[in-house]
Amino acid sequence: VDDMKLMFDNAMQYNQEGSLIFNSAKKLLDVTLLKAHELGYDEQKPRIKEARINLPMIPVKDEYLESSSPQSPNSQRGRLSKKPIKTPEQNIQTIYTYIREYR
How far CA 20 is from CA of 3, 8, 12, 36, 69, in Å, comes to 21, 13, 10, 24, 62
What is the tens place of the pLDDT at every residue in 46-74? 666 666 777 677 666 665 555 555 555 56
The pLDDT of residue 81 is 62
Look up the pTM and report it: 0.52
The pLDDT of residue 50 is 64
Cα end-to-end distance, the chain, whole Å: 20
